[in-house]
């Protein structure tokens, strides 16, 4: 995701905005626990245990164990795929009284795309989908054309009338791709100050800037932050430094602002996932609020 780093270069002159500036260390820890135990809007569901990776088929029992950890702390859960065990996520979430943002993972393999779209439609027709996401950052990865993605979006919309359908990508893509924005019922925006090299002390202001850019592009449509977070360790990216303290405070700042402004936000992520080291470097494995052993980190 370091592709976003250059975008921070245009961000200058931000005031420091921090809900925690006058709190002591113990007070910050207490506020984190208060937010978590009162419940946040949503978490992105981390499916894979240590030693597992995409391509492995995950059992319903594993999904259920992890979902029970999340269930007391959020209203919604977001999934990224409809195959290889990911299809258990909305089923278990609904059994536990949670709402679901269910994604079909699209890429450059037509057979996989067909299975994902069919899976999303089936889950929705079974009443397990509250919001459907057709693809995640596939425009950034350049694995589909706009026309190909639009065909999938309209196909899903026709198959599941009455369920909001959107597409997930970085917030700025909705400014650059008006046809996709127009096709979406809801704007599903990923907003990562870290991946754009933003120093922590400016991160809340930059998150707001990202969100309001997506709001402007949406022209009245609801905007949901589908991913935001901060890693607790790993490599720094320009001025963005992973640390236990920065991750803790980013979680608090994000949710204090989201609650103040009624911004629906899915936090990335629920559990640390070791497999992401390969895709993102060491930092990729440390985005969870719970560690890879499912223990709360803060």
Model pLDDT for residues 123-148, shown as the tens digit of each residue: 999 999 999 999 999 999 999 999 99
Domain membership flag for residue 186: yes
Tell me how many domains the chain contains.
1
Rounded CA-CA distance 245/247 in Å is 5
Convert the pLDDT of each residue in 82-108 to its tens digit.
999 999 999 999 999 999 999 999 999
- 206: pLDDT strictly greater than 80: yes
Convert the pLDDT of each residue in 240-290 to its tens digit.
999 999 999 999 999 999 999 999 999 999 999 999 998 799 999 999 999
Domain membership flag for residue 86: yes
Confidence (pLDDT) at 282: 94
Which class for 96: exposed (0-12), middle (13-18), buried (19 or more C-beta within 10 A)?
Answer: middle
The CATH number covering residue 206 comes to: 3.20.20.80
Give the DSSP H/E element, type plus range, for residue 213: helix 203-218
- 8: pLDDT strictly greater than 80: no
Domain membership flag for residue 124: yes
Domain membership flag for residue 29: yes
Q: How many CB atoms lie within 10 A of CB 18?
A: 17
Q: Is residue 206 within 8 Å of residue 11, measured between CB atoms? A: yes
Domain membership flag for residue 169: yes
Domain membership flag for residue 59: yes
In which band, very low, low, confident or very high, does the pLDDT at 17 lie, cut at 50, 70 and 90? low
Rounded CA-CA distance 277/59 in Å is 23
Q: Which of 291, 296, 201 lies closest to 241, judged by CA?
A: 201
Domain membership flag for residue 87: yes
Rounded CA-CA distance 230/16 in Å is 17
Confidence (pLDDT) at 62: 98
Q: Which of 146, 94, 145 lies closest to 124, judged by CA?
A: 94
- 112: pLDDT strictly greater than 70: yes
Q: Which of 240, 241, 236, 297 lies closest to 269, judged by CA?
A: 297
Q: Is residue 129 within 8 Å of residue 90, measured between CB atoms? A: yes
Which class for 19: exposed (0-12), middle (13-18), buried (19 or more C-beta within 10 A)?
Answer: middle
With a CB cutoff of 8 Å and minimum separation 6, the contacts of 169 are 135, 136, 137, 138, 139, 140, 188, 189, 190
Domain of 90 in residue numbering reads as 24-285
3-state SS class at 143: coil
- 11: pLDDT strictly greater than 60: no
Domain membership flag for residue 184: yes
């Amino acid at each position: 995701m370091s592709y976003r780093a250059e975008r921070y270069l245009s961000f200058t002159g931000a005031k420091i905005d921090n809900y925690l500036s006058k709190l002591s260390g113990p007070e910050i820890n207490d506020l984190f626990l208060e937010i978590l135990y009162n419940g946040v809007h949503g978490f992105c569901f981390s499916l894979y245990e240590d030693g597992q990776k995409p391509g492995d088929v995950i059992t319903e029992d594993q999904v259920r164990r992890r979902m029970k950890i999340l269930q007391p702390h959020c209203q919604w859960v977001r999934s990224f795929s409809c195959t290889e065990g990911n299809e258990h996520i909305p089923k278990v979430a609904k059994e536990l009284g949670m709402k679901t943002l269910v994604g079909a993972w699209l890429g450059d393999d037509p057979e996989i795309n067909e299975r994902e779209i069919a899976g999303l439609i089936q889950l929705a027709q079974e009443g397990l989908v509250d919001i459907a996401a057709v693809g995640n950052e596939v425009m950034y990865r350049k694995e589909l054309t706009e026309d190909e993605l639009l065909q999938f979006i309209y196909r899903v919309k026709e198959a599941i009338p009455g369920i909001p359908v959107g597409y997930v990508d970085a917030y700025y893509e909705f400014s650059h791709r008006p046809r996709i924005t127009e096709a979406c019922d809801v704007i599903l925006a990923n907003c990562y100050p870290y991946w754009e090299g933003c120093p922590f002390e400016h991160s809340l202001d930059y998150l707001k800037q990202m969100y309001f850019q997506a709001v402007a592009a949406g022209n009245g449509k609801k905007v949901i932050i589908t991913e935001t977070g901060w890693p607790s360790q790993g490599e720094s990216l320009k001025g963005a430094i992973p640390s236990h303290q920065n991750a803790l405070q980013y979680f608090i700042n994000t949710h204090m602002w989201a609650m103040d402004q009624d911004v629906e936000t899915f936090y990335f992520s629920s559990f640390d996932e070791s497999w992401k080291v390969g895709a993102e470097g060491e930092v990729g494995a440390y985005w969870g609020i719970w560690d890879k052993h499912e223990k709360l980190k803060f």
